[in-house]
């Protein structure tokens, strides 16, 4: 790992009312809030006597051609800083000076964060105070009791406005919160799922509907989406007599999106009791799960409409990264109308010749009163504090101070400039992002993946009920065992 002098950032809120600065050009975005030194500070101040706060983050962009510009939750670009980088530096400089501490950190792409933290906890030699890793890997550490319940840290107020309220509520288990996200994260937002569409291809195809208006009015539904995709869009544009990854497609997707679209219907893998304990929805209320998955699977199996990246025949072609070679490439080259993916991919589309827009995940039922969105289990960061952290309340002060000031300065710069106006390129997509982030939800079943319960949600086989029946018993056993261990 390369040691870096860092800035523990934080990136933006889900509720747009908390975005404090006006939208505008990149140069003016960070200035709208004034200087950190002149801001109202809620988090108490304490002299930490020169303590170093050590931060660890997984490098999500390592080795990827589609994850561009990722510098982690702890690093900013000093050589050619954007307004976002400048805001990060301003926040960290302020926290270091105000609390008499130094924030330093590592970003790793070789040894896993989970292995590093397990070794640290078992050795009794604490080093890293604050960590960031994916939702799924972080949950695995919670199962092994490697993480501190954030509710027990007196200097962290999870009801504060700089925390994602949906994440705090949805990811609590037995009234404990081992990990969460908010303004102290960047990659939780980038790991949020959406639908992209190619504006130029839409015009070429003669599609007259205004997708933004449909979504804005709450009518962006599964049936509407399928009907548009079925308009003879997919075609053998190469003229070789076969439709493959080099031709034009109505919709590019992957098997994880079977689960994403289930969430879009307001469903989850795990519900929660009044006592804040999880239960498996498919074991207790299976009908909706089976109905939705069967419908989506049938659509995904239509090889004349939908290209599923991580399914045959593409998985048999020896691609190093099958997603980048198929659905991602087709969208960049203007050969794919819709692409369901994480916002992490948006940065790689900046140099596209075509213009693109952002839309929410379609509602499954037209009777739904809202949209529902989820995040990637593997590409969404969670913040956590390892067991054994020394003077944990002091660490909590730093977490709170950075979160608070990031809400005021980093979030507006990132949200209003980089995401809305640099990547999305239009005001309407910015409006859609407001909608998407305000309707985000988190699923304990996906995070903990008890007994591999996520796998039947991501399988194209139409024998839905039988594969769930084969998995539920082991999943419930794993879930109950975890609950017993966490309660012990």
Do residues 312 and 352 share a domain?
A: yes
Do residues 211 and 89 share a domain?
A: no
3-state secondary structure of 400: helix
Q: How far apart are CA 371 and CA 488, in angstroms?
A: 38
- Is the residue at 431 inside a domain? no
Whether residue 281 contacts residue 269, with contact meaning beta carbons closer than 8 Å, is answered with yes
Do residues 8 and 128 share a domain?
A: yes
Structural domains counted in the chain? 2
Confidence of residue 188 (pLDDT cuts 50, 70, 90): confident
Do residues 370 and 310 share a domain?
A: yes
Q: What is the DSSP annotation of 272-287?
A: E-TTS-EEEHHHHSHH
**pLDDT(18) > 60:** no
Lowest mean pLDDT among 179-193, 255-269, 290-304: 179-193
Is the Cα dihedral 367, 368, 371, 374 positive or negative? negative
- In the structure encoding, which two tokens stand for residue 437, read together? 């982030």
Q: What is the pTM of this model?
A: 0.86
Whether residue 343 contacts residue 190, with contact meaning beta carbons closer than 8 Å, is answered with yes
Q: How far apart are CA 161 and CA 403, in angstroms?
A: 9
Whether residue 414 contacts residue 422, with contact meaning beta carbons closer than 8 Å, is answered with no
Whether residue 54 contacts residue 127, with contact meaning beta carbons closer than 8 Å, is answered with yes
Output the pLDDT for position 417. 60
- Is the residue at 344 inside a domain? yes
Average pLDDT, the chain: 87
Do residues 133 and 264 share a domain?
A: no
Do residues 370 and 383 share a domain?
A: no
Output the pLDDT for position 32. 36
End-to-end CA distance of the chain: 35
Do residues 331 and 225 share a domain?
A: yes
pLDDT per position as a tens digit, 447-466 = 999 999 999 999 999 999 99
Q: Are strands 306-308 and 249-253 parallel, antiparallel or unpaired?
A: parallel
- Mean pLDDT (whole number) for 184-196: 87
- Is the residue at 443 inside a domain? no
In which domain, by residue range, is 140 found?
2-189+378-425
Do residues 197 and 323 share a domain?
A: yes
Confidence of residue 191 (pLDDT cuts 50, 70, 90): confident
Do residues 185 and 301 share a domain?
A: no
Output the pLDDT for position 186. 74
Lowest mean pLDDT among 29-38, 105-114, 133-142: 29-38
Between residues 202 and 348, the one the model is more confident about: 202
Confidence of residue 13 (pLDDT cuts 50, 70, 90): very low
Lowest mean pLDDT among 235-244, 270-279, 420-429: 420-429
Lowest mean pLDDT among 241-250, 405-414, 437-446, 469-478: 405-414
% of the chain residues with pLDDT over 70: 86
Q: How far apart are CA 470 and CA 245, in angstroms?
A: 34
- Is the residue at 442 inside a domain? no
Q: How far apart are CA 22 and CA 33, in angstroms?
A: 9
- Mean pLDDT (whole number) for 387-398: 97
- In the structure encoding, which two tokens stand for residue 395, read together? 């660490």
Output the pLDDT for position 74. 65
**pLDDT(257) > 50:** yes
3-state secondary structure of 379: coil
Output the pLDDT for position 6. 36
Q: How far apart are CA 484 and CA 219, in angstroms?
A: 44
Q: Which residue has the tokens 């705090």?
A: 168
Confidence of residue 347 (pLDDT cuts 50, 70, 90): confident
Whether residue 130 contacts residue 399, with contact meaning beta carbons closer than 8 Å, is answered with yes
Do residues 337 and 387 share a domain?
A: no
Output the pLDDT for position 79. 76
Output the pLDDT for position 460. 95
**pLDDT(207) > 60:** yes
**pLDDT(153) > 90:** yes
């Amino acid at each position: 790992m390369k040691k870096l002098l860092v800035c523990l950032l934080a990136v933006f809120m889900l509720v747009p009312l908390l975005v404090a600065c006006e939208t505008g050009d990149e140069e003016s975005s960070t200035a709208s809030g004034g200087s950190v030194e002149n801001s109202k500070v809620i988090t108490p101040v304490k002299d930490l006597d020169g303590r170093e706060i050590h931060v660890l983050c997984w490098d999500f962009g390592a080795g990827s051609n589609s994850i561009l510009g990722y510098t982690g939750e702890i690093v900013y670009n000093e050589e050619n800083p954007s307004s976002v980088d400048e805001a990060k530096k301003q926040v960290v400089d302020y926290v270091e000076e105000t609390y008499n501490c130094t924030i330093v950190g590592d970003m790793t792409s070789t040894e896993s964060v989970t292995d590093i933290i397990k070794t640290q906890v078992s050795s009794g030699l604490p080093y890293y105070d604050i960590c960031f890793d994916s939702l799924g890997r972080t949950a695995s550490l919670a199962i092994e009791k490697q993480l501190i319940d954030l509710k027990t840290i007196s200097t962290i107020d999870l009801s504060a406005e700089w925390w994602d309220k949906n994440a705090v509520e949805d990811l609590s288990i037995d009234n404990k919160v081992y990990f969460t996200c908010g303004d102290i994260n960047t990659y939780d937002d980038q790991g949020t799922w959406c639908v992209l569409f190619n504006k130029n291809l839409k015009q070429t195809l003669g599609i007259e509907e205004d997708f933004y208006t449909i979504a804005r009015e709450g009518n962006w539904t599964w049936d509407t989406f399928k009907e548009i995709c079925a308009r003879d869009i997919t075609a053998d544009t190469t003229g070789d007599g076969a439709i493959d990854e080099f031709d034009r497609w109505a919709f590019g997707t992957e098997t994880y999106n079977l689960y994403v679209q289930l969430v879009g219907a307001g469903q989850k893998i795990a519900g929660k009791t009044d006592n804040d304990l999880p239960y498996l929805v498919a074991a207790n209320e299976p009908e909706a799960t089976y109905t939705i998955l069967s419908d989506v699977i049938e659509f995904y199996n239509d090889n004349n409409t939908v290209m599923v990246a991580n399914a045959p025949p593409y998985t048999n072609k020896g691609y190093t990264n099958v997603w980048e070679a198929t659905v991602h490439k087709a969208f960049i080259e203007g050969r794919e109308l819709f692409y369901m993916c994480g916002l992490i991919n948006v940065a790689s589309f900046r140099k596209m010749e075509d213009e693109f827009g952002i839309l929410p995940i379609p509602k499954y039922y037209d009777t739904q009163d809202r949209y529902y969105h989820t995040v990637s289990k593997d590409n969404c960061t969670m913040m956590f504090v390892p067991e054994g952290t020394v003077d944990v309340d002091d660490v909590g002060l730093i977490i709170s101070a950075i979160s608070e000031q990031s809400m005021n300065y980093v979030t507006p710069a990132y949200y209003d400039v980089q995401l809305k106006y640099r990547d999305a390129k239009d005001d309407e997509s910015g409006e859609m992002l407001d909608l998407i982030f305000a309707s985000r939800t988190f699923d304990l079943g996906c995070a903990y993946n008890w007994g591999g319960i996520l796998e039947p949600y991501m399988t194209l086989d139409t024998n839905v009920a039988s594969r769930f029946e084969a998995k539920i018993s082991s999943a419930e056993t794993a879930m109950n065992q975890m609950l017993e261990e966490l309660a012990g």
